[in-house]
Structure 1
Amino acid sequence: MRINKYYLAAFSAFFIWGFFSLALKPLHNYPSLDILFYRVFFSVVVMVLINVAFRRKVMQQNWNHFKNMTTKKRKNVVVLTLGGGLFLSSNWFVFIYVMNHVSVKAASLAYLICPILTTVFAFFMLKEKLSKWQWIAVTISVFSCILLSFNHFEDIFYSLITAATYALYLVSQRKNSELDKFLVLTIQLLFAAIILLPFYPNYSGAIPTEPLFYGCLLVIVVFFTIIPLFLNLYALNGINSSAVGIMIYINPIIGFLLAIFYYNEQATYLQLFSYFLILVSIAVFNEKLIFPRKLKAVSSKMEGLK
């Protein structure tokens, strides 16, 4: 696997996300909806300012390109962009709730099963093919989730919802490649803000006054929202989804290690075994990507014997 700027972007995005709990956990006393409201609103303000101040030429070029599209293509771009915004905001709310009110392990598990859920959704929604090894990996992952559900149904339930919303976001964005990625992300967050705005007066708490809240929020907006999301979308320009899939596992592995060694959350032997099975399913699922050179070498030798 040749390392280039796209692999580095994907690695950096998921490495950063692995430490998200460090900025989110200090806000556990605040309602999940309040964190979501301010995260989305502040992100939109920052991204709109960046576009207006430094990316006017890019905005004009994309607007001209959009106007020159066929009606069918314009409709497709609008649906994919706005639908992605809906999935992304849903994922954020569930993830914040799980991280602060269920457990860090449950949040980490969500992104362990997310790549496999993404592929299953792509199989049914985009008609992408799965190899027999990938189906075996899906089966192993499902079995591990059943094991984790014993006496921990709430963990696995919220993990699956979190993983499903992000998987749907990734699947919906695979074909959304007509416009600039940073601009697409800005539009998606703006759409999410428009959706949330009517709920803010009735469902938000008192306006936070503690410096801790705004300090953590600034870190969340810049380092755990704008930067990794842009790196993630940028990486999809140059590498395939399988390569990105391997990178996703950096996030939950770091999160799980933080849960055990930093937050001192307890893990049973059954949970550890289940996580081990998920790691096995990851290796099986990506066997072609992990062992490409060996398979090519054997194939070349066989060709030479003919």
Structure 2
Amino acid sequence: MENKKLGTIYALLAYVLWGILPLYWKLLEHIEAKEILSYRIVASFFFMIALLIVQKNWSTFLHTCRLLWREKKRAIALIVASLLISVNWFIYIWAVNHNHMVEASLGYYMNPLLNVLLGIVVLKERLYKWQAVSFILAAAGVLLMTIEYGKIPWVALSLACSFALYSLVKKVISIDATIGLTVETMLVTPFALIFIIHSFGQLNVASFSFATMLLLVGAGPATALPLLYFAKGAQHISLTFLGFLQYISPTLSLLLGVFLFHEPFTNAHMYAFGCIWTALLLFSLSSTWEKRREKSLNA
């Protein structure tokens, strides 16, 4: 029971931090998204290296790197993962600082449904009847928004797809969260450093105050800590409970976007979110029902 309570606290911390992270990026909205991303990657890598040393996992990290050098398929998978998470980070930073937080939160509401869809298509996992209904409702929500605005909600779809694909790759290669994030940031850090060095002479020096530099450096722990809390939480609580908790993050982002930053929340948004929320409720309940039914059959 104590482990479950601790796991719940860690998971809540992770999702709350992810939910309020837009506040951090808003402090850097005077910097272009690609520059924030570059500093975020580099800062995250060095933070993860320091964390590995403190946790005395450096030898494990080196051993993993040697294994990846020999196992080319896993190495390629991690390269793909690093690119996917970089794309996801860039789109999210851009969305927050260009007043698309509402659409970004829609993307993360869609994410668990896309995870299951990929599991069915790629991993041949089973789809239950009410889960199929939830997919139809979610698709209807996206279609409603597309029709209303006359364009595809690419921010939401890009965030949902990139993170769902990232999750799939991480599930397939099965690597420790701390070491995995270190390797992923290590793979793209050289490109981020090249961009920073190349663009430094073209930057507006006045926009890079001491406070700004501190915020850019702080992007490392701001990125890594929620992920580490999430990994700790996932060790002690069920995936079903974790699935319910994950909606805290996009809900907080949605509330920030509407009430703090006054982004529009139109009827089209209401209909789309209504479909998605209903789909998520059906999906979560059906997963719980089916697991209970399977347990009773196997008892």
TM-score of Structure 1 vs Structure 2, range by shorter chain: 0.7 to 0.9
Following superposition of structure 1 onto structure 2, how do residues 50-89 of structure 1 map, counting pairs within 5 Å?
A: 50-52=51-53, 54-56=54-56, 58-61=57-60, 63-64=62-63, 74-89=71-86
> What residue is the counterpart of 1:8 in the other structure?
9
In the TM superposition, what whole-angstrom CA distance separates every residue of 1:175-231 from its partner, at most 9, and x where no partner exists?
3334x32122111111121243344444565155223423433443323x0101222
Q: Distance in 1 between matches of 2:150 and 2:190?
A: 34
> What residue is the counterpart of 2:111 in the other structure?
114
Select which of 102, 106, 111 maps to 1:105: 102
> What residue is the counterpart of 1:166 in the other structure?
163
Select which of 248, 251, 270 maps to 1:250: 248
Residue 77 of structure 1: how far off its partner (Å): 3.5
Decide whether the 8 Å contact of 2:12 with 2:245 is kept in 1: yes
Q: Distance in 2 between matches of 1:160 and 1:113?
A: 8
> What residue is the counterpart of 1:146 in the other structure?
143
Decide whether the 8 Å contact of 1:243 with 1:289 is kept in 2: no
Residue 243 of structure 1: how far off its partner (Å): 4.1
> What residue is the counterpart of 1:191 in the other structure?
187
Moved more, 147-156 or 266-275: 147-156
Q: Distance in 2 between matches of 1:69 and 1:272?
A: 46
Decide whether the 8 Å contact of 1:103 with 1:155 is kept in 2: no
> What residue is the counterpart of 1:233 in the other structure?
231
Residue 123 of structure 1: how far off its partner (Å): 1.6
TM-score, L = length of structure 2? 0.85
Over 3 Å counting, the alpha-carbon distance change for 1:64 and 1:37 in structure 2 is closer
Q: Distance in 2 between matches of 1:65 and 1:18?
A: 32
Q: Distance in 2 between matches of 1:80 and 1:236?
A: 23
Following superposition of structure 1 onto structure 2, how do residues 294-305 of structure 1 map, counting pairs within 5 Å?
A: none
> What residue is the counterpart of 2:121 in the other structure?
124
Over 3 Å counting, the alpha-carbon distance change for 1:199 and 1:236 in structure 2 is same
Question: What's the Cα RMSD here?
Answer: 3.1
Amino acid at match of 1:229: L
Over 3 Å counting, the alpha-carbon distance change for 1:209 and 1:181 in structure 2 is same
Q: Distance in 1 between matches of 2:191 and 2:233?
A: 28
Secondary structure (helix, strand or coil) at the match of 1:27 reads: coil
TM-score, L = length of structure 1? 0.83
Residue 119 of structure 1: how far off its partner (Å): 1.3
Over 3 Å counting, the alpha-carbon distance change for 1:262 and 1:154 in structure 2 is farther
Q: Distance in 1 between matches of 2:289 and 2:214?
A: 44
Decide whether the 8 Å contact of 1:15 with 1:250 is kept in 2: yes
Q: Distance in 2 between matches of 1:216 and 1:197?
A: 17
Q: Distance in 2 between matches of 1:107 and 1:244?
A: 21
Moved more, 276-285 or 266-275: 266-275
Q: Distance in 2 between matches of 1:262 and 1:67?
A: 48
Q: Distance in 1 between matches of 2:244 and 2:185?
A: 26
> What residue is the counterpart of 1:217 in the other structure?
216
Moved more, 27-36 or 237-246: 237-246
Q: Distance in 2 between matches of 1:233 and 1:76?
A: 24
Residue 90 of structure 1: how far off its partner (Å): 1.0
In the TM superposition, what whole-angstrom CA distance separates every residue of 1:153-175 from its partner, at most 9, and x where no partner exists?
56711110111111111111113
Decide whether the 8 Å contact of 2:45 with 2:220 is kept in 1: no
- Is there any run of 5+ residues in structure 1 with no aligned partner, and where? none
Q: Distance in 1 between matches of 2:31 and 2:21?
A: 16
Q: Distance in 1 between matches of 2:64 and 2:192?
A: 29
Q: Distance in 2 between matches of 1:43 and 1:32?
A: 16
Decide whether the 8 Å contact of 1:260 with 1:266 is kept in 2: yes
Decide whether the 8 Å contact of 1:111 with 1:248 is kept in 2: no
Matched-pair identity in %:
22
Over 3 Å counting, the alpha-carbon distance change for 1:135 and 1:33 in structure 2 is same
- Is there any run of 5+ residues in structure 2 with no aligned partner, and where? none
Over 3 Å counting, the alpha-carbon distance change for 1:55 and 1:23 in structure 2 is same
Decide whether the 8 Å contact of 1:59 with 1:183 is kept in 2: no
Over 3 Å counting, the alpha-carbon distance change for 1:98 and 1:61 in structure 2 is closer
